[in-house]
Structure 1
């Protein structure tokens, strides 16, 4: 009996230590910022800086839209940076649309550490910059696009502002569901950052567009299903045979460019 009690106590202590480590260290796993990042903007872009409401100066890449074209405010995935963002927006760029490629705190040489509320601050800083003297873009001319974890700040910005459209590529319904699908033993309450996009979509006033690869094993198509149920009038594109790399593929660029070009 005493041995059984000692074993249970040891298991409880182990579980507590494991849960504590997972809770405190999980953002290192969720936000693995690449060590390599572009030091200078590519041709056609310029380096700009936004100011967050908690005092951080963040870098971003910007190129203005041609007359009559929209401006995309793009939020990249958690393992990416502005190099990938350029690749994931090459279609709309070639069509003459403007681009504001947001770089998060803790990424691309920026100060700070990322978290859900922090990414929302970074997005808000980018919206302010676009509206200000730097670009003078009306919010109704902005298409907010989020890839993977970028679906979180993208949805939040579309909820807060009167934008032209919200477009999510390989987006989450919510982060705890993604974690649970990958690691079933992790309880939902242990995931600190929620990114509960599905709970917000019904309150987004702008048109919503959802694109997902049906072979995505990281953010599974079940996320698309939950997002579509949350926003029944959304335009949905389910791309056959493509995984989580969807945003960088030619089919995704064609769809994204068509969607943005069709906005009025």
Structure 2
């Protein structure tokens, strides 16, 4: 979201002042209040409570696909991982259209976001993703599950896919507005502004163990679809393309348009996603 750049400035400022642990927590700006629910946009939904391995209560939404003769048995599922700010009540705008197209959607609110408890940081957030996959696999043992991540959710999605694709039989990965790593994006921001240049050396304190670029090659042979707007004002197109180049086949790069995470405002990219989910 638009808060990503501001969050990175705060990250780097705090790095220079504190050198604290769990530095990735500074990338997240959760909001607890729901601004709307799926009912407000005439969507049926189920409120889902899961529990991470460490016992943290995670609260999410499940949007069932509209039932038809063609999708009643085998409609695919998208596990949606949103950006670094707000919660699923605002990010639903990226995926609300999928149920009408025969696709189920599970919107995960990470720990600390929305009605989920705890504090968000990497790597604890991967436990939240796994709790969602456990729920989905128990509920739908035979359905195809795909992970879709946007913005910082793309980083979480990439590493989660590498960690869990075999155990939970995840069929594919979709990324929108991705980047190579937490340190990389922090250095990108601090290196481009005179006021943050003195902070740039402290970005080296950010961990790289869970960076998407360290894990994306492990996703093969599962397919990857990546979108990135060529005019994204928040996450540089070049960082997304660099991550794509680190991935193994099968993979597909789709340049998109619009602002940050606005890809699915356009019918042509919606269709690209649907083709990937249903082929």
Equivalent-residue separation in structure 2 for 1:83 and 1:152 (angstroms):
21
Task: Provide the residue aligned with 1:143 in structure 2.
Answer: 146
Task: Provide the residue aligned with 2:273 in structure 1.
Answer: 256
Structure 1 pair 18–63 and aligned structure 2 pair: CA distance change class (3 A) = closer
User: Are 1:220 and 2:224 an aligned pair?
Assistant: no
SS in 1 for 2:123: helix
Give the C-alpha shift of residue 176 in structure 1. Answer: 1.1
Using structure 2 for the length normalisation, give the TM-score: 0.78
Runs of at least 5 residues in structure 2 that lack an aligned partner in the other structure: 1-12, 66-70, 192-196
Which shows bigger deviation, 226-235 or 46-55? 226-235
Checking the alignment, whether the CA contact within 8 Å between 1:176 and 1:194 is kept in structure 2 is no
Equivalent-residue separation in structure 2 for 1:17 and 1:36 (angstroms):
26
SS in 1 for 2:131: helix
Match of 1:197 among 192, 204, 212: 212
Q: How many residues align?
A: 244
Equivalent-residue separation in structure 2 for 1:171 and 1:62 (angstroms):
24
User: Are 1:164 and 2:167 an aligned pair?
Assistant: no
Task: Provide the residue aligned with 2:223 in structure 1.
Answer: 207
Task: Provide the residue aligned with 1:3 in structure 2.
Answer: none
> Is the radius of gyration larger for structure 1 or structure 2?
1
Equivalent-residue separation in structure 2 for 1:229 and 1:17 (angstroms):
32
Equivalent-residue separation in structure 2 for 1:247 and 1:36 (angstroms):
25
Using structure 1 for the length normalisation, give the TM-score: 0.82
Give the C-alpha shift of residue 92 in structure 1. Answer: 2.3
Structure 1 pair 148–142 and aligned structure 2 pair: CA distance change class (3 A) = same
User: Which structure exhibits the higher relative contact order, with contacts defined as CA atoms closer than 8 Å and separated by 6 or more residues?
Assistant: 2
SS in 1 for 2:97: helix
Equivalent-residue separation in structure 2 for 1:102 and 1:19 (angstroms):
32
What RMSD in Å do the two structures reach over aligned CA positions?
2.6
